[in-house]
Amino acid sequence: MKERILIAEDDAAIRTGVSDLLESEGYHVASAADGVAALEMYRDFDPDLVILDVMMPGMNGYDVCREIRTGDRVTPVIMLTAKGREVDKVVGLELGADDYMVKPFGMDELLARVRSALRRGALSRANRGRDAGHLSFGDVRVDFDRMTGWKGDTEFPLTPKEAALLRCLADSDGRVLSRADLLDEVWGIDCDVTTRTVDQHVVRLRQKIEDDPSRPRFLCTVHGAGYRFDRFGKGL
């Protein structure tokens, strides 16, 4: 069965060029010229991957991504934009995008990122079907399917990337993961955010799950190496 890709791009030349490329590679492609049409098409088309331009009329790509993520945490999203600042990339990634490409981009690079995103999406769907998606440690409980956690009786939300980062560290079973490892596993090897993004997400996770974020017991820093998860809360 052909994998389905939805592309939303208001530039007709880019939209047509990307659609033609993906169709020539054997993918089933649907396209939209604005955010509102993209969201309607997403609901009808049930894509395996969504490619979103950031600046679109009616509804921008950030808002479309936010709407998709309210009910779908699995389908990968790649953002396209002329904005190359790191803060713009972080906004998209925080909203749940899986990757971020700055225009102009090469078609070979786009294809590589599409294939990588589709592989991660297939793995996420497989993992979701294999386990209940829960994690417990100390007085913290996490429901990955609902993107929600509880510390004691206090509920807190998780962004898709916070959840993916926590799950990756928890699944490592106490092993130290470098920042590069985490970028590869959580953001994808083709994503061009920096290792500072990992640190920023760790800080936000600690604020939600640690008694004292300045002295973490669960999300531990291994200086010069990376991070490790200690489910017993012994720290280092």
Map the chain to HEC letters: CCCEEEEECCCHHHHHHHHHHHHHCCCEEEEECCHHHHHHHHHHHCCCEEEEECCCCCCCHHHHHHHHHCCCCCCCEEEEECCCCHHHHHHHHHCCCCEEEECCCCHHHHHHHHHHHHHHHHHHHHHHHHCCCEEEECCEEEECCCCEEEECCEEEECCHHHHHHHHHHHHCCCCCECHHHHHHHHHCCCCCCCHHHHHHHHHHHHHHHCCCCCCCCCEEEECCCEEEECCCCCCC
**Is the confidence at residue 3, as pLDDT, over 60?**
yes
Give the tokens for residue 142: 């996490």
> Within a domain: residue 235?
no
CATH number at residue 190: 1.10.10.10
Average pLDDT, the chain: 87
Residue 199 CA, chain-centre distance (Å), reads 16
Report the percentage of the chain scoring pLDDT > 90. Answer: 52
**Is the confidence at residue 131, as pLDDT, over 60?**
no
Which residue would you say has higher pLDDT here, 145 or 229? 229
Regarding whether 137 and 123 lie in a shared domain, the answer is no
Regarding whether 151 and 105 lie in a shared domain, the answer is no
Regarding whether 79 and 141 lie in a shared domain, the answer is no
Regarding whether 100 and 40 lie in a shared domain, the answer is yes
The number of folded domains in the chain is 2
Determine the structural domain holding residue 105 and report its residue range.
4-129
Instruction: Quick: pLDDT tens for 137-147.
Output: 889 999 988 88
Regarding whether 56 and 138 lie in a shared domain, the answer is no
pLDDT at position 156 is: 94
**Is the confidence at residue 214, as pLDDT, over 50?**
yes
Which residue would you say has higher pLDDT here, 119 or 8? 8
Domain boundary among 129, 158, 186: 129
Please tell me the pTM assigned to this model: 0.62
**Is the confidence at residue 127, as pLDDT, over 80?**
no
pLDDT at position 130 is: 46
What is the average pLDDT across 44-73?
Answer: 90
What are the beta bridge partners of residue 143? 134, 148
Closest CA to 165 of 130, 121, 198, 206: 198
Q: Which band of pLDDT confidence, cut at 50, 70 and 90, is reported for residue 129?
A: very low
Residues 6+ apart with CB under 8 A from 212: none
pLDDT at position 97 is: 87
Regarding whether 162 and 122 lie in a shared domain, the answer is no
Domain boundary among 77, 94, 129: 129
Residue 5 phi, psi (nearest 5):
-125, 130
> Within a domain: residue 58?
yes
Instruction: Look at 72-86, 118-132, 189-203 and tell me which has the smallest mean pLDDT.
Output: 118-132
Regarding whether 13 and 125 lie in a shared domain, the answer is yes
What is the average pLDDT across 124-148?
Answer: 76
Contact between 177 and 168 under an 8 Å Cβ cutoff? The reply is yes
Q: Which band of pLDDT confidence, cut at 50, 70 and 90, is reported for residue 98?
A: confident
Domain boundary among 129, 164, 195: 129
Regarding whether 195 and 145 lie in a shared domain, the answer is yes
Report the percentage of the chain scoring pLDDT > 70. Answer: 90
Regarding whether 31 and 121 lie in a shared domain, the answer is yes
